[in-house]
Each structure stands twice: as structure tokens, then as C-alpha cells.
Structure 1
């Protein structure tokens, strides 16, 4: 009986509220213009692969402070697929705070920039694409123009690592061969290690990578390619946990902290034929 009485009371209360709302609507029809309907929509993606707007702005600040590493380059952020089924060509992205939101334009090469907005900073906004977590990954894109074909500049890549770590772009999941474990994980200082395990992605599947500075030339060993897969006896188990899952044949590590290689060192790529 108590449950029935409570249910009856709640029903009566709801009826009363509805009646009051209807009465208010009728009065509005008589006394003034009808207000336009308001539609409230929820984001369909309940598991977003979002990033912190504040951290990404901190990454932009670091780029400005350390621009001398890549003086002729500009900074863009880049989206990369993490799952084979991820559609990278129809991504919409927004910066969303508690009271502010604005769209982010993504270029055809999946790169973008974000504007500085004090209100978004104050509200600790998030940068949210319409993709689920672990469906794609993020990196920085810092390229000096005018380089020879199939090359990158080491100073650009050093700065990519530092900005990427400061911006919080590296995935937190367990990864191949325990990548990126240990201290200084979230700081640019990690990139100062002689051989940090920071994954870079080439434009095409790799056959080899070489460092060239003047007359000095050195080909990277196989354990510096393919996300160190040659050192991983459990590759099939670990691969789904790496943010390189579908791009493992494009990944490579560099001796970023080895200052015997100057910033103007060229990183030369030899790509697989008939990829």
C-alpha cells in the first residue's frame, strides 16, 4: 500500500505540472507571440577521442618559445587512423566548453590548427571530433618547406615530439613493447632522451630510414622501425593496444637526444615498392 500511495501521489503531481504548463501555454497564446521552439540535442558519440584545449594551447606556446628548432616551419596538428575501419574523410570537430563551442576546420590532409580563445581556456574546453576513443590518434605536423623529396628535417621532428608531449597528444593505452613507459611521460623532457620511444609516422610504408648530416650517413637499425615489432614476441596481442595499429609499417623512432646529429640533419625515407 505505501508503494501504491507514493505512485498515486507522483502521478497526481505530474498531472498537476502538465496542467500548469498547458495553462501557461494557453495564456501565452492569448497574451503574446508564441516563442520559437528550442531543440536540445546530445552528442551522439558517448566515447569521444577528445583532447584538452588548454594542453593543446600549451603545446602552441612551446612551439613559439622553441621555434628556433624549426625556424622556417609552422605548426599544425594531425589526425591519423588507429583502426582500419576509421573513416578519416568525414570528421567534424569542435572546441566545446561549458558555455562556448566553435568548429575546427580540418584540411584534406587531416591537419588543422586551433584558434586561441580566452573563454575556451577559462572553461577548460575540450577538442572533440565525432569519432570514438581509440579509433584514431593525434600528432603534431611541423615541416620545413623546400626539403628534398622523401626527407624530413631532424629539428622539425625534435620539435614535433616536444610539442606533442606538451599538448598531451600521445595515447595512454598499453602499447607495443611497453612504449612510452617510465618517468617524464607527459613532459617535453622525454624527447631529450638519447633514444626516446616516441612514434613518428611516415607518409608511406617504410623500407628503410637513414640520417644524413654532411658526409655522415647512418641507416636506422630494424628495431627502430615498425614500432619495434622485431623485438616484440607478442606482436599480435600488443598491436591492438598501440596507436599505430594500422600504420605500424610507417612508424619509426629517432635518436632525438643525440646532439651529435644537428637539427639540420636530413631524415631520408626509402619506401616500399607497390606498398
Structure 2
């Protein structure tokens, strides 16, 4: 408890109010002969091609595509897909986990066919799914994620909102530009709401920082409708796929919001265990709120070495305003 009081004092001196600037989406008119958010069959094939060319990132992995909900009302069970061209209509089998594969059809490619869902495409989020065998449950392999990004960008899966992203032109069409750049910001989604993610590469171990979770913690009510993470905010994260100091065999270990506190978590003193008390003691925090009622709070304090990013104190509060668990951690650093 005494240790926490000392840390709290440091946090009180370092904490600053965190604000997120709301961004308004530009208005763009997109001319198209079909729904502009239908997926291009040619682009999906391009994603399959890039998977084959870069298979060395995940030599034993298989490729599927995945449907995820974009709106609270999205119902994925029973959804059907088809590849539709001028003269071709090919049904696509959707598995119970809402994943699918595509067959190559020369006629559909020649006709620039579209992949059409039985739901409004604007209610869906699409992703590539690359999975290597023998990855432990609750973990993901970094090489798989690198390949998922390259396939996803080539296949045009970054967003379903054409009005939001059409103005960005070529920026989101280059897998190399997006996936090999620290500013690429390709969103991944965990199976469950995320509390913490730890990178493990041999003996090297480091937590992902707060700004790698929850779409960077920058979404506002005005920007969230334009994010693939609209109803998946608590499951979204950025992986350091661009950082080659982490090998392809690096594992990302996930801790869920609902899991009990672990050995890396910090005990919370009685005077800090509710939102009002925490704010009274430490001041305003950077807060990300979720539809579930959970909140993640973040405070920063000076790093050990000059020039390093600040260290972080994060607290998960439940819908009742009570602190569930907290963690002190240093940010990811490159050796």
C-alpha cells in the first residue's frame, strides 16, 4: 500500500488532463454503378496473391476472410455471400464462425465482379484471418498479423465507409506503406475485450502501450461511426508489425477485461478504488469508455531514462465505478 501511495504522489505531479479533439468527416461524392462498399473480387484475389508471395511470414498458416459486426444491430448468423458480375453469380460458403474462403474464377475477375453480402455492407467489418498452427490459446503470432495486414490492405478491407476514405486516394492501397510504417495504424481485433497485451519473443518481454489499444484511445462520439471499431472498440489494438526488432515468431499474449488480476497487476488502495476517489487523488485521467460500461483510465509519470516515453499507470473500472484491476508498466522499447 505504501508503494502505491508513493506512486500516486508521482502521478499527481505528472498527470495532465487528456482531451481528444473531435474530427469531422469530409463530405465526398463517390460515383459508382454499384454499392461503393461492396468488396471488389479482383482486390480480394490480389489479397490472396500477396498471401502466396509473402507466405514466408507464416509458412504453415492458412488464409481465410472474416466478417465482423460494425453496428450494434448487426446480425452475422445466417449471413450469405455471393460473387456477382455481369453474367456470373457464385455462392460463397460462410462458416459458423463467419469466416470464408474464395475460389478463383476467371470470368468473375474479367467482369470485375463484386463480393456482395445479404446484409448491408456498411454494417460489416471485413478482415483477413491468417492463423499458424500450434499457437497457444489466447495468443497471436506476429508474423501472422503482418501477413493479415498485407492481405487486408491489398484486398481493400481497411474500411467500409467509402465517403470517409475515398479522399485519401493511394494512401491505403499500398500494403508496404501501411504495414511497414509506424503510422500505418492497421487495426486488429481480439476475440474478447482487451485489458492488456504483452509481446513475448524468446527472453524479451514488453507490454503494448495504452496508445496501441482501443484504436489508440483517440476515438470520439463523432469519429467512432467512421471506424471499423465502432462496436469493437474494446477489442481493437495495433500490433508493432512494422518493428523488425520483434521476430515473426513473437507471440502476443492477451489478458481479458473479465479475467481476475494477475501477477503483473498492482494492488489498489482503498482511497483509490472508485472513479471519484481516483480522480480526487490523482486528477483527471485519459479515459476511454466502452458500450459495456467499463472504462480504462490512464495516467503517465516520468520514464526512468531521459528521452524515453513516459511510463503508464492504467486502471480498469467496471460499470459500477469500482476499480477491477490496475497496472504500472514501461512502454515498448527497441533494444
Between structure 1 and structure 2, the one with the greater Rg is 1
Q: State the 1:184 CA deviation.
A: 3.3
Structure having the higher helix fraction is 1
Structure 2 unaligned blocks of 5 or more:
1-33, 260-291, 293-335
Work out whether 1:207 is the aligned partner of 2:192.
no
**What TM-score do the two structures reach when normalised by structure 1?**
0.77
State the alpha-carbon separation in 2 of the partners of residues 224 and 257 from structure 1: 13
Q: 2:46 aligns with which of 49, 52, 58?
A: 58
Contact 2:125 2:160 in 1 (8 A): no
Query: Aligned pair count?
Result: 225
Contact 1:49 1:135 in 2 (8 A): no
**2:131 match:** 143
Work out whether 1:115 is the aligned partner of 2:103.
yes
Q: Helix, strand or coil for the counterpart of 1:254? A: coil
**1:37 match:** none
Label 1:63 to 1:247 Cα distance change in 2 as closer, same or farther (>3 A): same
**1:216 match:** 204
Q: Helix, strand or coil for the counterpart of 2:246? A: coil
Label 1:48 to 1:90 Cα distance change in 2 as closer, same or farther (>3 A): farther
Q: Helix, strand or coil for the counterpart of 1:208? A: strand
Does 164-173 or 51-60 show the bigger shift?
Answer: 164-173
Q: For residues 13-68 of structure 1, what are the alpha-carbon distances to aligned partners after superposition, in whole Å with 9 as ceiling and x for unaligned? A: xxxxxxxxxxxxxxxxxxxxxxxxxxxxxxxxx95841000000011011011100
Label 1:164 to 1:172 Cα distance change in 2 as closer, same or farther (>3 A): same
State the alpha-carbon separation in 1 of the partners of residues 162 and 114 from structure 2: 23
Contact 2:160 2:228 in 1 (8 A): no
Q: State the 1:209 CA deviation.
A: 0.8
Work out whether 1:129 is the aligned partner of 2:117.
yes
Q: State the 1:173 CA deviation.
A: 3.5
Q: Helix, strand or coil for the counterpart of 1:84? A: coil
**What TM-score do the two structures reach when normalised by structure 2?**
0.63
Label 1:174 to 1:105 Cα distance change in 2 as closer, same or farther (>3 A): closer
**2:329 match:** none
Work out whether 1:171 is the aligned partner of 2:171.
no
